[in-house]
Amino acid sequence: MGEAVTFKPRRPCPICKKPSQPKFHPFCSNRCTQIDLNRWLGGHYAVPTEEDGPPSPEDDTKD
C-alpha cells in the first residue's frame, strides 16, 4: 500500500468559529458556506485599491 495521507490541522470556521468539516472545508456547514457566498456577492469583501485623482491634462492624448 501507499503512504498515509496527512491532512492539515482543522481550523475553526471563519464564519461561526465551530470546527471545520472536510465536506465543507474551510467551513463547518452548508449554512456557513452560503453566508460567505452571500457576503462575496453582496460586496462585503473587497480588495483595496488606490484611487487616482482627477486626470491631468497630460493624460489626455488627442491625436
E strand or H helix at 43: none
Q: Which residues contact 24 (CB under 8 A, 6 or more apart)?
A: 30, 32, 33
What is the structure's pLDDT at 45? 87
Q: What is the mean pLDDT for each group of 10 consecutive residues in the chain (63 residues)?
A: 66 94 93 96 87 68 56
pTM beyond 0.85: the answer is: no
| Maximum Cα–Cα distance across the chain | 70
